[in-house]
């Protein structure tokens, strides 16, 4: 019997010369045969990389290279056909690009790195014999998902469009919202292998220039082989990597992104993902929904207060149950205490073990419902919770009051609009439960104090995480715990350090201007009645 040989790590040297950064040091020669030979060597064993050689009408050799599946082949054929009937006496790129090519987006490159970076992204490259530069033609035509309503941020009122996985589609959706020449989108490329396109979007003259520079600096400092999703970027540029609380917000909604840009924030759009990052943010940003700004301020303020209350319930309710049933039974009314004691009489586990079993089971069911197909996942999550909970109560493993507590906690965590903030609350629930099992209510107080102290230490790109409450900024409180009416929010958040704080005119809204206008209309109506 042959024995498999044990192999260690490969000793072959990594071909660093094939990275885009290294290829930028390789200039195009101007001899098309040499350049094609280099291309064939660099892109060897790449069946999707197409090199189309042909001759123009004047006999000059030319080559179009593109990636099958990323470029629009019909447009490539049209470009090749127009070049084959090129009647110029000279094959200069300036003449070809200005008189022959039926392409709107044209740029050039003088090295293999810049050319392949664009070609591997979906554009097409044109090489003409005798020219030491290549023309890059915007002929992208890859299949992509159409614009649809985002599933993770559904709303009752507001736009129904969401970002897709295509960078240019996402930037166009933002541009549709903000039709201003001051909206800038700085292009960056990250990832030695993936060469992922990233656009840093901001409004010039509104966003803090130092903030924009810091965002660009952190992204350019990333040294990684690939970026497959914006989560890579988020984790690599955040201020406090070990904190359970997110310091960068992500969204699928163009209107949320546009609203953040209009406040002076910066958006990071990553190719290949529908999630756009927004910086800087505060803790209160994760408790706000996009439709808070579309409904009337009374409704929005009530919903925000409910979310804050439900966040506290989701964080502390299981720990309170453990503390009260274990150490502080005198806090319960006598009737309720007798009911809880009767329900827990046959339970063989302490309250903390009982709560951990139910909480972990609920988290497992929730995770299973997310991973399974939609139709099956909903059935598993609902039936699993009902069947498992009922069976556990009847078997004497957990008590009925705890099932109610876990259900309320789960519903409360769903009320938090941002998924990453809800995950943080669900994660911190377990340390509080352990503290409550050892120290009772004192443990909960210590745990909450530690969490608040940790939040006070956090920064998001230099902005205090609990601002405008800590440090206190009275003018910014109009859009924090509650939302003031639009005609009262005349200034942008002061804590962001924006260049232009004013966003509403003095006479805008339901203030004195509208009252005067209404008075003028009433006076005009009275005069007309008197004349009649």
Rounded to whole angstroms, the Cα distance separating 489 from 495 reads 15
Per-residue pLDDT at 460 exceeds 90: yes
Share of the chain above pLDDT 90, in %: 37
Find the mean pLDDT for residues 423-445: 93
Q: pLDDT band at 30, cuts 50/70/90?
A: confident
First to last CA, the chain: 114
Structure tokens belonging to residue 260: 């953040």
Place of tokens 């072959």: 12
Question: Residue 269's beta-bridge partner residues?
Answer: 199
Report the pLDDT value the prediction gives residue 443, as an integer from 0 to 100: 94
User: 151-155, 389-393, 415-419, 472-476: which range is least confident on average?
Assistant: 389-393
Exposure of 337 in the CB half-sphere (CA atoms within 13 A): 11
The pLDDT value given to residue 529 = 55
Q: What is the pLDDT of residue 479?
A: 87
The reported pLDDT for the residue numbered 214 is 94
pLDDT of residue 13 exceeding 60: no
C-alpha Rg value of the chain to the nearest Å: 31
Reported confidence tier of residue 12, pLDDT bands at 50, 70, 90: very low
Residue 6 has pLDDT above 60, yes or no: no
Q: Is the confidence at residue 305, as pLDDT, over 90?
A: yes
What are residue 279's DSSP bridge partners?
Answer: 266
CB 377 within 8 A of CB 370: yes
State the CB neighbour count (10 A cutoff) for residue 271.
Answer: 21
Average pLDDT over residues 157-176: 91
Q: Residue 9: pLDDT above 50? A: no
pLDDT above 70 for 510: no
- Residue 178 CA to residue 232 CA, distance in Å, equals 27
Quote the tokens at residue 528.
Answer: 């007309």
pLDDT at 260: 93
What is the per-residue pLDDT across 321-358, written as a single tens digit (0 to 9) for each?
999 988 888 888 888 888 888 888 778 888 898 889 88
**Quick check: 84 and 54 in contact, CB under 8 A?**
yes
446-481 exposure pattern, b = at least 16 Cβ within 10 A, e = fewer: ebbeebeeebeebebbebbbbbbbeeeeeebebbbe
pLDDT at 514: 53
pLDDT at 221: 93
Q: State the chain's mean pLDDT as an integer.
A: 84
Which of 191-200, 220-229, 431-440, 522-531 is predicted with the least confidence, judged by mean pLDDT?
A: 522-531
Give the pLDDT confidence of 356-381 residue by residue, as tens digits. Answer: 988 888 888 777 777 777 666 666 66
Angle at 455 between CA 474 and CA 431, to 5 degrees: 140
**pLDDT for position 90:** 54
Model confidence at 404, pLDDT cuts 50, 70, 90, reads confident
Residues 46-73 have a mean pLDDT of: 87
Predicted local confidence at residue 15, as pLDDT: 57
Local confidence band at 274 (pLDDT 50, 70, 90 cut-offs): very high
At 135-159, the pLDDT tens digits run 898 888 877 788 888 888 888 888 8
């Amino acid at each position: 019997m042959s024995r498999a040989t044990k192999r260690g790590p490969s000793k072959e040297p990594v071909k660093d010369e094939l990275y885009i950064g290294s290829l930028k040091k390789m200039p195009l020669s101007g001899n098309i045969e040499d350049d094609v030979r280099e291309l064939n060597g660099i892109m060897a064993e790449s069946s999707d990389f197409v090199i189309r050689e042909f001759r123009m009408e004047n006999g000059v050799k030319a080559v179009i290279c593109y990636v099958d599946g990323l470029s629009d082949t019909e447009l490539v054929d049209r470009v090749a056909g127009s070049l084959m009937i090129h009647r110029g006496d000279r094959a200069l790129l300036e003449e070809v690009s200005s008189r022959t090519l039926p392409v709107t987006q044209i740029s050039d490159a003088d090295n293999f790195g810049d050319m392949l970076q664009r070609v591997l992204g979906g554009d097409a490259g044109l090489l003409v014999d005798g020219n030491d530069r290549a023309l890059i033609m915007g002929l992208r035509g890859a299949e992509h998902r159409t614009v649809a309503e985002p599933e993770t941020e559904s709303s009752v009122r507001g736009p129904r469009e969401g970002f897709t996985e295509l960078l240019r589609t996402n930037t166009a959706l933002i541009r549709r919202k903000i039709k201003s020449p001051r909206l800038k989108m700085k292009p960056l490329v990250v990832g030695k292998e993936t060469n992922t396109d990233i656009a840093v979007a901001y409004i010039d003259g509104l966003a803090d220039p130092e903030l924009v520079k810091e965002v660009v600096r952190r992204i350019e400092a990333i040294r990684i082989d690939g970026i497959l999703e914006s989560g890579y970027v988020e984790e690599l540029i955040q201020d406090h990597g070990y904190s359970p609380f997110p310091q960068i917000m992500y969204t699928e909604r163009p209107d949320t992104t546009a609203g953040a840009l209009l406040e002076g924030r910066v958006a990071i759009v990553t190719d290949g993902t529908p999630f756009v990052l927004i910086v800087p943010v505060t803790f209160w940003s994760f408790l706000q929904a996009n439709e808070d700004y579309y409904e009337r301020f009374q409704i929005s303020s009530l919903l925000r207060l409910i979310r804050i209350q439900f966040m506290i319930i989701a964080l502390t309710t299981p720990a309170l149950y453990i503390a009260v049933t274990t150490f502080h039974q005198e806090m319960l009314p006598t009737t309720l205490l007798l009911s809880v004691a009767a329900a827990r009489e046959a339970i063989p586990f302490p309250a903390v073990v009982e709560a951990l079993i139910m909480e972990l089971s609920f988290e497992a069911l929730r995770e299973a419902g997310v991973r399974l197909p939609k139709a099956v996942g909903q059935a598993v999550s609902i039936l699993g919770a009902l069947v498992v909970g009922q069976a556990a109560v009847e078997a004497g493993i957990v008590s009925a009051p705890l099932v109610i507590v876990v259900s309320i906690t789960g519903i409360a965590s769903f009320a938090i609009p941002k998924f990453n903030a809800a995950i943080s609350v669900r994660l911190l629930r377990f340390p509080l439960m352990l503290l409550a099992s050892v120290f009772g209510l004192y443990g909960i107080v210590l745990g909450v104090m530690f969490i608040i102290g940790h939040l006070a230490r956090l920064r998001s790109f230099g902005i205090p995480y609990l601002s405008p409450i800590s440090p206190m900024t009275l003018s910014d409180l109009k859009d924090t715990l509650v939302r003031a009416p639009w005609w009262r929010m005349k200034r942008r958040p002061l804590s962001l350090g924006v260049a232009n704080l004013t966003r509403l005119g003095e006479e805008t809204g339901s203030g004195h201007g509208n009252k005067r206008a209404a008075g003028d209309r009433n006076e005009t109506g009275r005069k007309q009645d008197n004349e009649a």
